Structure 1
């Protein structure tokens, strides 16, 4: 199985590429050792996919504040996959939901309340219309072994080099990047089509998550300031029971993968 990873310079894209090994070709919008690709350029995306003819395209690319990259770019990738017959695995987000219903399974209808969530929801709609057998994998906060954005922010707060605080009123289901990448590759090699919820087993506030990171890394927990987001998607929990039942990969909860 040959894989094309779109967004291979990102935190998740790099891990998908690493786990896939020699069968993967990684492409980057900017930087890194792979070939440069701007997903906003529909013709360029099509040329690339037609040239490489991968069996599977895994799209991890997004820019949170850029509708064109996140929504239209995803549509361009889906159109190229449809034109070449490639299987498509697209990474979406829990922020397609407002949080009003708190818990969302794979049958839940998106109701975004942020521009980023709306862009991701639009991408899901485009993909559904263009590639009937695509996998849309919704996930949550992605952590690693100290190298994710959230972990770096916690360290900066503890060191006093960052301002702000850790929200006590926002709840998500964090996932480890190695679990997420393994699940995406497993879905890529399967015949499953449709929505998959690929998130961790534990629902935690950002402050609770920060405390776990601090304990694992030996940081001063008392040095972590708290804050409240107050509006927007607050408590959003992805129920991935149906997806987990299809996977060999076990999606661990943050209390497990952040244990000392």
Structure 2
């Protein structure tokens, strides 16, 4: 199968490229807006520059490679930045999906789009695939708008919704709750961690595997692809501190109202993964297992 990935320099993009190359079953085209930052020899895959907000470039690159599947991981995901830079957010999260839909329609390609738990208001989580969205931030609105574009299109598509993705980028360019807590407590910094928001933290490798399973089956529709645990960030921080045997005396629990954030966050999301388990055979790691995997990657 020929698979094209958008956002290959990002955390999920990196994990997908590694997974597909390790499997060795598929022809891979990695694309990103900037230069290729992947640490793999380009004998095993092709790389192309593709700015997802450039309609003509998207159509040209997809037409030239004619992939069977496009996995769209590129997006503007900083929730506060989306609130402040709405035009850029809409361009990257909505218009880009429109261009990819057009390109996939022209080339009869299956499109897998990454979405988020932030399409929900967080009043009744965790949510299944049939739950009614009601975003409380502009980021959530943009991701829901992209989902609606797909639902109203004529192409074959899937939507993978995920939650709070964590993992290690090969160049250590991305932080996450595990790295932040570990570094802060090792340096003796005082930190406050939210205890009144619930999430299903998702190991990047698990999300990559879920996407791969959807792509290989060309399984259409909406799938929740996330971790199996429902935890608040304070619980995640405690688990991290305990794993690394760190002194927790400088760590305080706090409610969301004590933080000044530009965008509103849904209080209790989390996603239910029974459909992904049944249809795809998806089985993610627990958060405790995820910490151990990340710790191993830090060492290496």
TM-score by length of 2: 0.80
Shift of 1:163: 7.8
More displaced 10-residue stretch of structure 1: 155-164 or 82-91: 155-164
Number of the residue aligned with 1:6: 6
Shift of 1:98: 0.6
Aligned-partner SS, 2:152 = helix
Partners in 2 of 1:135 and 1:158 — Cα distance? 40
Unaligned runs of 5+ in 2: 38-46, 83-88, 258-263, 296-300
Partners in 2 of 1:131 and 1:170 — Cα distance? 37
Structure 1 residues 151-183: Cα deviation after superposition (integer angstroms, max 9, x where no partner): 232234324597863211111001111111111
Structure 1 residues 74-112: Cα deviation after superposition (integer angstroms, max 9, x where no partner): 222222112211111111111010111222101112110
How many residue pairs were aligned? Answer: 260
Instruction: Say which of 114, 119, 126 aligns to 1:96.
Output: 119
Establish whether residue 235 from structure 1 lines up as the match of residue 268 from structure 2.
Answer: yes
* Runs of 4 or more consecutive aligned structure 1 residues displaced over 3 Å after TM superposition: 145-148, 159-164
Shift of 1:223: 2.9
Aligned-partner SS, 2:256 = coil
Contact 2:135 2:141 in 1 (8 A): yes
Inter-CA distance 50–145: structure 2 relative to 1 (3 Å threshold)? closer
Unaligned runs of 5+ in 1: none
TM-score by length of 1: 0.91
Partners in 1 of 2:59 and 2:189 — Cα distance? 41
Partners in 2 of 1:162 and 1:184 — Cα distance? 37
Number of the residue aligned with 1:220: 247
Contact 2:190 2:250 in 1 (8 A): no
Establish whether residue 78 from structure 1 lines up as the match of residue 111 from structure 2.
Answer: no
Task: Decide which structure has the larger Cα Rg and report it.
Answer: 2
